[in-house]
Amino acid sequence: MTMLDLRTEAATASAFVSAAARFGVVEKPDLAFTPAIARETEHLYEKVKDFIPAFEWAAYAPYVHAINRLKKERNAVILAHNYQTPDIFHCVADIVGDSLQLARDATKVDAEIIVQCGVHFMAETSKLLNPEKTVLIPDAKAGCSLSESITGADVRLLKERYPGVPVVTYVNTSADVKAETDICCTSSNVLAVVESLESDTVLCIPDEYLAMNVARQTNKKILTWKGHCEVHERFTAAELLAYKEANPGIEIIGHPECHPDVIEVCDFSGSTSGMINYVKDKRPPRVLLVTECSMASNIQAEVEGVDFVKPCNLCPHMKRITLPKILDSLLYMTEEVLVDPAIADRARLAVERMVNLKQ
């Protein structure tokens, strides 16, 4: 390493000031369940009372109260994915949604700080779209089996093998992968993204099942990768047919990260928000959501007269986010999400092309 390199590195290191140093840290508040806290959180308990027994609310309410207070003091906003637990989804989140909605809404927030309650690729997407804002994730280890299935180097090899074939990458990937990509997609817009490309052949990576499901809806030739969601790959068509037999008239709605054989026996397939809207609009008397476990509880709190049959497949990554970790995030300004400047511009372009696509 030359002297110049050393000086450049030192300058970069000194230019980086941690979020804790920029915003200051706050001392942990007393987390006792006082009558005042019980009163102030009563309206929130109403939304989650079917999932949290009254005696347990004493452990949740002080966190909910402290987070909501600190959020205002810090000028922070909480973005939460539909798979977050009901206490987070209904009691502290400002904006909830599927991956596309969260990416779109991330561009509209006025707050200085975004706390992303979801997995790491979601926080990275928010940071890409808001380079000037501080983006925090309560647990940076909240990963994703799809994101971990592929690297930027893998995509470079694919492009060498299929020169000229456009690359559509699911948002469930690292910024390193997005940087090698022509355009991103989510489960709610994958067909529109694929159809927007002129080429007759498209690389749709890394979710093999999402790609197989979209291949059934387009005339284009879809090439893919062997990535899978560890939650959705567990569902089987045989299991769903058994639910149908045991529950005559039940509607089964599935996420397109499931195998096509599973989607085949579903009455509807869509992104997490697509599934929520289906239940809210159609109000099926009995329904089974073929997706992560918390989704059913989160909608159940908002619709009456729908009976949810719940096979419970949890996403261990989404479940890393908890109220105590969200509070720590706001107190100590951790864990800050940064994107390597060497790849940020290219990764941002792929996400922005998706966000700006007219559907």
* Contacts to ligand SF4 from residues 248-277, by CB under 6 A: 257
The end-to-end CA distance of the chain, in Å, is 50
> CB-wise, 292 or 335, nearer to ligand SF4?
292
Residue 184 is a binding residue for ligand SF4 (CB under 6 A): no
Task: Work out the widest C-alpha separation in the chain, in whole angstroms.
Answer: 75
Question: Which of 78, 115, 146, 306 forms a contact with ligand SF4 (CB under 6 A)?
Answer: 146
Q: Which does 145 bind (CB under 5 to 8 A by kind): ligand SF4, ligand 13P, none?
A: ligand SF4
**Dist CA 12 CA 219 (whole Å):** 49
Segment interacting with ligand SF4, rule: CB under 6 A, options 24-32, 228-236, 240-248, 323-331: 228-236
Question: Which of 41, 84, 145, 334 forms a contact with ligand SF4 (CB under 6 A)?
Answer: 145
Q: Which does 230 bind (CB under 5 to 8 A by kind): ligand 13P, ligand SF4, none?
A: ligand SF4
Tell me the H-state helices in the chain: 3-15, 19-23, 35-40, 42-48, 54-74, 86-91, 99-106, 120-129, 152-161, 175-178, 190-196, 208-215, 237-246, 260-264, 272-282, 294-300, 323-332, 341-355
Question: Would you tell me which residues interact with ligand 13P (CB under 6 A)?
Answer: 82, 98-100, 172, 186-188, 229, 257, 271-272
Residue 158 is a binding residue for ligand SF4 (CB under 6 A): no
Phi and psi at 236, nearest 5°, equal -125, 155
Residue 177 is a binding residue for ligand SF4 (CB under 6 A): no
Q: Look at residues 19, 29, 114 and name the one whose alpha carbon lies nearest to residue 63.
A: 29
Q: CA 327, 333, 335: angle at the middle one, nearest 5?
A: 90
Question: Which of 144, 253, 288, 333 forms a contact with ligand SF4 (CB under 6 A)?
Answer: 144
Smallest distance from ligand SF4 to CB 204, Å: 15
Residues binding ligand SF4: number (CB under 6 A): 13
**Dist CA 90 CA 300 (whole Å):** 11
Those residues with Cβ within 8 angstroms of residue 263's Cβ, 6 or more apart along the chain or in another chain: 213, 254, 256, 269
Residue 124 is a binding residue for ligand SF4 (CB under 6 A): no
Question: Which of 124, 180, 182, 292 forms a contact with ligand SF4 (CB under 6 A)?
Answer: 292
> CB-wise, 71 or 120, nearer to ligand SF4?
120
Smallest distance from ligand 13P to CB 117, Å: 12
Q: Which does 41 bind (CB under 5 to 8 A by kind): ligand SF4, ligand 13P, none?
A: none
What would the DSSP string read from start to end of 121-179?
HHHHHHHHH-TTSEEE-S-TT---TTGGG--HHHHHHHHHHSTT--EEEESSS-HHHHT
Q: CA 282, 235, 117: angle at the middle one, nearest 5?
A: 70
Residue 112 is a binding residue for ligand SF4 (CB under 6 A): no
Radius of gyration of the chain (CA): 22
* Contacts to ligand SF4 from residues 293-352, by CB under 6 A: 315, 317-318
Residue 229 is a binding residue for ligand SF4 (CB under 6 A): yes
Question: Which of 76, 102, 103, 119 forms a contact with ligand SF4 (CB under 6 A)?
Answer: 119
Binding positions for ligand SF4, rule: CB under 6 A: 119, 144-146, 172, 229-231, 257, 292, 315, 317-318
